[in-house]
Structure 1
Amino acid sequence: MKEETVHAKPGWVLFGGCILAFLAAAVNADFMLRVGVSVSHLSGDLSRIASQAGRGAGHWSREAVLLILTVSGFVGGAATAGFFIHHPNLQLVRPYGRSVIFVGLLLLATHPAGRYSVPLACFMAAWACGMQNALATRYRGLILRTTHITGLLTDFGQLIGMRLRGHPIESWKITTPFALAASFAAGAAAGSVVNLATSIPVTVVCGALYVTGGALWSVAKRRPHLPGG
Structure 2
Amino acid sequence: MLILEGDARNGRIDRRLACTLALVAGALNSAGFYAVGFFSANMTGNVSILADHIALGDLLRGLFYLAIVATFVVGALVSTLLISVGRRRSMAGIYAVSIAAEAVLLTGLGCADLLLPDGERGPILIFGLSFLMGLQNAVVTRISNARVRTTHISGMATDIGIELGTLVDHAWRRGPPEEAMPVLEKLRLHAATVLSFCLGGVGGVVAYKAFGSGLLFGAAAVLFAVALPGLMKLWGRGSGGPAARSTYDPRVVEP
Q: Compared with structure 1, are the counterparts of its residues 126 and 6 closer, same or farther at alpha carbon in structure 2 (3 Å cutoff)?
A: same
SS in 2 for 1:137: helix
Distance 2:203 2:130 in 1: 19
| 1:69, distance to aligned residue in structure 2 (A) | 2.5
Q: Max radius of gyration: which structure?
A: 2
Asked if the contact 1:73–1:127 (Cα under 8 Å) also holds between the matched residues in 2, the reply is yes
Offset at 1:190?
0.7
Q: Secondary structure at the match of 1:148?
A: coil
Which amino acid counterpart does residue 103 of structure 1 have in structure 2?
E
Structure 1 residues 199-218: aligned runs within 5 Å? 199=212, 201-218=214-231
- Count of aligned pairs between the two proteins: 221
- In structure 2, what is the equivalent of residue 124 of structure 1? 128
- 1:149-160, aligned counterparts within 5 Å? 149-160=153-164
Say if 1:164 and 1:197 are closer, same or farther in 2 by CA, change over 3 A: same
Match of 1:69 among 59, 62, 67: 67
What CA RMSD, in Å, does the superposition of the two structures yield over aligned residues?
3.1
Equivalent residue, structure 1, for 2:47: 46
Deviation at 1:29, TM superposition (A): 1.0
Where does 1:74-93 land on structure 2 (aligned, <5 Å)? 74-86=72-84, 93=92
Q: Does 1:110 align with 2:109?
A: yes
Q: Percent identity?
A: 23
Output the TM-score relative to the length of structure 2.
0.75
SS in 2 for 1:134: helix
Residues 92 and 16 (structure 1), Cα distance of their counterparts in 2 relative to 1, 3 Å cut: farther
Question: For the residues of structure 2 that align with 1:139 and 1:59, how far apart are their CA atoms?
Answer: 38
Displacement after TM superposition at 1:22 (Å): 0.2
Q: What is aligned with 2:240?
A: none
CA distance in 2, matches of 1:183, 1:5: 22
The aligned amino acid for 2:194 is A
Superposition TM-score, scaled by structure 1 size:
0.83
Q: 1:17-51 CA deviation, whole Å, 9 max, x = no partner? A: 10000001101111000001111221111111111
Change (3 A) 1:202 1:141: closer
Structure with higher helix content: 2
Give the Cα separation in 2 of the matches to 1:154 and 1:74. 22
Amino acid at match of 1:105: V
Gaps of 5+ in 1: none
State the match for 1:189 in structure 2: 202
- Higher alpha-carbon deviation: 174-183 or 3-12: 3-12
CA deviation profile, 1:32-90 (whole Å, cap 9, x unmatched) = 000011112211111111112222x25413xx444233211110011112212239xxx
Closer, same or farther: CA 210–5 of 1 in aligned 2, 3 Å:
closer
Q: 2:140 aligns with which of 136, 139, 151?
A: 136
Q: 1:148 pairs with 148, 152, 157, which one?
A: 152
Amino acid at match of 1:72: A
Q: 1:29, 1:155 → 2: CA distance? A: 23
Q: For residue 132 of structure 1, report the CA deviation from its aligned partner.
A: 0.7
Aligned amino acid, residue 23 of structure 1: V
Structure 1, 44-53 or 161-170: larger mean CA deviation: 161-170
> Structure 2 unaligned runs (5+)?
238-248
